[in-house]
Each structure stands twice: as C-alpha cells, then as structure tokens.
C-alpha cells in the first residue's frame, strides 16, 4: 500500500468554568476551613457530597447545608498501574469514600497506604493539603484512619 | 402501532489501527455494506441518524464530518440527525423517526477510531471539570472501582470474570470482524498484567477502529421489499444517576430499560423466551452484572460474536451487538446458535454503565 500520512495535532482550548454558588461554597470551605460540606434534599433526606443544588431523585432544591467527614468508610479502591497524563501522581490509588453524615460516595485519592493494606469497609480520614487553592485537591488524599 | 424492521446490516472489520481509512471512510464502508445487505440504494433511504462523540473524533459537530459519507447530500439529499451516545441509542432515535410517520427508512451509522485519540484523557473528560477531573480518574480506573464493589456484593470472583474472558475470546476467534482473534486460556487470562486491580488486561475491552450501520424500515416498506428482515419487538432506554450517587453493584437503569423492552415484546420470562443475547461488556465483570439485571444469568448463548472484549469501537459497540443479534436471527452469525427466534441486544454509554439501551428482535411469525 502507498504510504499513509498521519496528521498529529492536539486541541488546546482554554476554559473558565464557573463552579456555581454551591460548589463555590464547598470549595471555599475546603480552602479556608478544612471542612467538607454537603447539601441535603428536603424530601428524601439524602446528603450529597460534592454538594448538589438539586436532588436527582426528587428534582427538588437541596437547601440544607451540613458538614460531613472528615472520616468515612472505604467503599471501593483500586490503583491505576498505568501512566496517564491525567494522573496527579504516579500510580494513583483511588477510593470511593462515604463520608460520615453523607449518603453519596466521593471519589478521591488514597495515600499513606499500600494497596494491599486497604480493605473494603475500613475507616479512612481526609488529609488536607498545606497549600490550598479552592480545588478538590485541597483534600490531598484519604488515609487509613488512626 | 406500526412495527419496525431491521432490513439491512453492515460492519467494517474491527482493528487496533485502521490507518488506511479516515473515520468518515469507515462510515461509508459500513453504510454501503448495510445498503448492499438490504438490496437498497441510498435513494431508498429517506433519513439518516449518526452516532459519534466529539471528544473521540477530536472535532466539534463530529456528526457533520460523516454526513457526506453516510449519504446525506446524495441526489436530492435527506434529513440527517445525530445522537451523541452509543449506536443503540441512535437506532432508538432512528426507529422513533419511522414511528412518527414522517419517514419510511432510516440509515443508522456509528463509528469510532479509538487509535486516533487518547482514551485516558478522553474518558477523564467524562468527569466534572470543576470538582472531579483533577483526580485523574478515567473509564478504566472507574470501572475497577465498580468491579471490586460488584464482586464483593455478588460473591462472584475474578475466576468467574476470567471465564467470561475465555468464553468471549474463544467466540471472537471465529468472528472474521473481531479485532482479537486469538483465544485466551484461563491461565493466560489470570496471568495477564494487572491494569487497575481487580482488572487485568484480559478483562478490558480493546480499543478498536471501525463502524457499523443498520437500515430500519417501517412495516409497509419492509413487507413490500421482502428479503432478509428481523422485527423490533421491544426496546427500552434508561439513564442512571452519576457515579457516586448510585449503587455500583447493580444497575437500576438497565433493569428499567429491560423492563420496558420486555413489556413491549410481551416477554414474561426472559431466561426462557430469549434464545441469544449480545451485551456490551466493556469489562468482563460487566457481562455478569448486565446479565443479572437482564434476567439472563443462566443464558448460555451470550456474546457468541466475542462481544466487546474482542472488538470495541466505542460508539459503534452497541450497534454491533444489534447487528450480531440480527445475524443470529437470520442464521448467519459466525458462531450460530440453533433455532434462534428471539434475540436481545444491549448497548451502554457513560462511566460504569451510566445509561443502557435494550433491544428485543424477533423473526417473522
Ligand atoms: Zn431527594
């Protein structure tokens, strides 16, 4: 076959996404108070973290705010044993964490533990980053609770 | 209600890298194959629905890039519309257009060239940009979280998952369209490299380049044409809550989609009434999970094509399932089940099966 040329390029489009009122309050509480906030649906009482403005189940506004965590239960975990330009650290360990007081699972990084020492249902706690900027990574990771 | 038939099917071969063709050329190849199969000309098609994803194609309005290749401008031209999602959802839309009474025939085509983009970055972009994306999760690491929950909750094991890999890879070896055509032994599956525990490389669908197309027709048109046709007896489509807000060991959305499809088809006992099934298992554990929710846990004729574990051109994957189910009914599948009168096809879209589409196809009679 004749030579087939391949055109290499990338899409580089900057965005400036609004966090909105609800996620702004959540991210500011991480940054300024080292607190994890959730919102609660008035109908089904489900507490969402990250907080939602509306409940997907009930199609209603989640008006009530509450603090959840910083401890939680590890519902699942894995380790990405491959490289990705999206990874914030090499071979990141990921967990799904149900924070105390919350009804949803928060996906986040797990640190200060090897994968083989993690167990489903174990207690973990949030470790806050020293330098915080109003990002989900203001929580550095979760670690097995002391 | 008027019935709708699948009167033509076409698919390219699925390969890790189809360097010789652009994705639009793949669309033309699949659409032409479906038209040939139906014995139709593009002038017989009065509307087109395409399925594509802008992130995978690397351009906005990626559907417009395949319009000409699908025949939108041929002759007098025709209506073309698009679904951003799995090919089964595009077929659902194509069928709805026929049932509206506005159209007689719909060409549905879906494509992906997984080789041309970076799946890690593309599926990382499925996550919320403000408060999730920076974590670096992607479709594989998210699925690993679901896999561990599912195994824990169901009591199934990684050996059960390996059995799915072995089964599908042995079927795929006989499917001339499949990308992975080498069988994998249980020992090889268990020894394949860990990618994101508990997932090993054998548990994960490969990324493929390819396209798939079907021609749908209303009852009058299908009956007048004669030829090979299978009937749509039922269909259901349902979306679930985002990751983190739903139980990952189950799929309410799939149960709901199946319930709608079964009710429409008059199916009470799917395990007895469905002769063959093609489900979209992007990961081996998903075949077990989806079959549980479909009420087909004991069905022995599942993914006789080899399934997604042997070829997975992302957006086209569900439409390939629909085609393979139709081929089972026509008695033309590469691994043919005996006496198939009713077949199920399933497509999914999003992280950890965020939405599902279920089709029940049947033969004349
Ligand atoms: Zn609610």
pLDDT tens digit at each of 365 positions of chain B: 689 999 999 999 999 999 999 999 999 999 999 999 999 999 999 999 999 999 999 999 888 899 999 999 999 899 999 999 999 999 999 999 999 999 999 999 999 999 999 999 999 999 999 999 999 999 999 999 999 999 999 999 999 999 999 999 999 999 999 999 999 999 999 999 999 999 999 999 999 999 999 999 999 999 998 889 999 999 999 999 999 999 999 999 999 999 999 999 999 999 999 999 999 999 999 999 999 999 999 999 999 999 999 999 999 999 999 999 999 999 999 999 999 999 999 999 999 999 999 999 999 86
Find the closest chain B residue to A141 by CA distance. Answer: B135
d(CA A128, CA A36): 10
Find the closest chain A residue to B124 by CA distance. Answer: A86
Chain B environment of A59 (Cβ under 8 Å): none
The verdict on a CB contact (< 8 Å) between A115 and B243 is no
For residue B220, what are its two tokens? 């009058």
Predicted TM-score (pTM) of the model is: 0.97
The verdict on a CB contact (< 8 Å) between A86 and B149 is no
Question: If you compute the radius of gyration of chain A from its CA atoms, what whole number of angstroms results?
Answer: 19
Per-residue pLDDT at A10: 93
The verdict on a CB contact (< 8 Å) between A6 and B134 is no
Given a contact cutoff of 8 angstroms between Cβ atoms, the answer to whether B84 and B78 are in contact is no
Cα(A100) to ligand 1 centroid in Å equals 18
Paired sense of beta strands B105-113 and B209-218, if any: antiparallel
Q: What distance in Å separates residue A146's CA from the closest CA in chain B? A: 24
d(CA A5, CA A65): 56
The strand order across the sheet containing B355-362 reads: B79-83, B47-51, B105-113, B209-218, B4-11, B230-239, B355-362, B342-349, B276-278
Cα(A96) to ligand 1 centroid in Å equals 21
Paired sense of beta strands B79-83 and B47-51, if any: parallel
Given a contact cutoff of 8 angstroms between Cβ atoms, the answer to whether B285 and B161 are in contact is yes
The verdict on a CB contact (< 8 Å) between A76 and B248 is yes
Per-residue pLDDT at A51: 97
The verdict on a CB contact (< 8 Å) between B141 and A80 is yes
Per-residue pLDDT at B165: 98
Chain A environment of B118 (Cβ under 8 Å): 85
A134: left (phi over 0), alpha (psi -120 to 50) or beta: left
Give me the domains of chain B, ranges plus CATH numbers. 4-117+207-225 (3.40.47.10)
Cα angle A100, A104, A107; round to 5:
95
The verdict on a CB contact (< 8 Å) between B131 and A19 is yes
Cα(B358) to ligand 1 centroid in Å equals 28
Of B120, B149, B244, the CB nearest to A107: B244
ipTM over 0.90: yes
Per-residue pLDDT at B365: 60
Cα(A47) to ligand 1 centroid in Å equals 9
Cα(A58) to ligand 1 centroid in Å equals 4
Find the closest chain A residue to B198 by CA distance. Answer: A78
Chosen from A25, A27, A86 to mutate, greatest number of chain B CBs within 10 A: A86
Find the closest chain B residue to A107 by CA distance. Answer: B244
pLDDT beneath 50: ranges in chain A: none
The verdict on a CB contact (< 8 Å) between A76 and B131 is no
């Amino acid at each position: 076959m004749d030579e087939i040329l391949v055109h290499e390029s990338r899409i580089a489009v900057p965005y400036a996404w609004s966090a909105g009122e609800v996620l702004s309050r959540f991210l500011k509480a991480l940054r300024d108070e080292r607190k994890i906030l959730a919102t609660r649906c008035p109908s089904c009482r489900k507490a969402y973290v990250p907080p939602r403005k509306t409940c997907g189940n009930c199609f209603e506004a989640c008006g009530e705010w509450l603090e959840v965590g910083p401890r939680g239960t590890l519902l699942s975990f894995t380790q990405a044993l491959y490289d990705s330009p999206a990874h914030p650290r090499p071979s990141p360990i990921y967990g799904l964490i149900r924070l105390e007081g919350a009804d949803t699972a928060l996906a986040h990084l797990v640190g200060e533990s090897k994968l083989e020492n993690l167990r489903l249902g174990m207690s973990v706690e949030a470790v806050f980053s020293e330098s915080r900027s109003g990002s989900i990574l203001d929580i550095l990771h979760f670690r097995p609770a002391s | 209600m008027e019935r709708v038939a699948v009167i033509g099917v076409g698919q390219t071969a699925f390969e890790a890298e189809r360097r010789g063709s652009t994705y639009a050329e793949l669309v033309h190849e699949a659409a032409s194959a479906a038209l040939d199969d139906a014995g139709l000309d593009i002038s017989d098609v009065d509307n087109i629905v395409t399925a594509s994803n802008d992130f995978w194609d690397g351009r906005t309005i990626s559907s417009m890039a395949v319009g000409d290749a699908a025949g939108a401008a041929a002759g007098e031209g025709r209506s073309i519309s698009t679904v951003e999602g799995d090919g089964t959802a595009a077929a659902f839309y194509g069928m709805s257009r026929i049932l509206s009474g506005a159209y007689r025939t719909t060409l549905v085509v879906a494509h992906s060239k997984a080789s041309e983009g970076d799946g890690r970055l593309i599926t990382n972009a499925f996550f919320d940009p403000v408060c999730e994306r920076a974590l670096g999760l992607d479709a594989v690491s998210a699925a690993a979280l679901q896999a561990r929950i599912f195994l824990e909750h169901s009591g199934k094991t990684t050996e059960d998952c390996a059995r799915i890999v072995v089964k599908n890879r042995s079927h795929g070896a006989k499917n001339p369209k499949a990308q992975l055509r080498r069988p994998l032994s249980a020992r090889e599956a268990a020894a394949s490299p860990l990618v994101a525990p508990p997932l090993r490389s054998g548990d994960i669908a490969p990324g493929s380049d390819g396209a798939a197309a079907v021609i749908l027709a209303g009852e009058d048109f299908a009956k007048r044409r004669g030829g090979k046709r299978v009937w749509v007896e039922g269909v259901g489509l349902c979306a679930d809550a985002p990751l983190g807000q739903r139980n990952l060991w189950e799929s309410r959305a799939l149960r709901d989609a199946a319930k709608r499809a079964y009710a429409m088809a008059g199916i009470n006992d799917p395990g007895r009434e469905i002769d063959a099934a093609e489900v979209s298992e992007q990961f081996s554990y998903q075949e077990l999970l989806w079959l549980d929710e479909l009420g087909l846990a004991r069905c022995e004729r599942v993914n006789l094509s080899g399934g997604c574990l042997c070829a997975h051109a992302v957006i086209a994957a569900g439409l390939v399932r629909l085609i393979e189910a139709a081929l089972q009914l026509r008695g033309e599948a590469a691994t043919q089940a005996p006496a198939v009168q009713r077949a199920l096809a399933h497509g999914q879209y999003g992280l950890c099966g965020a939405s599902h589409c279920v089709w029940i196809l049947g033969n004349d009679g």
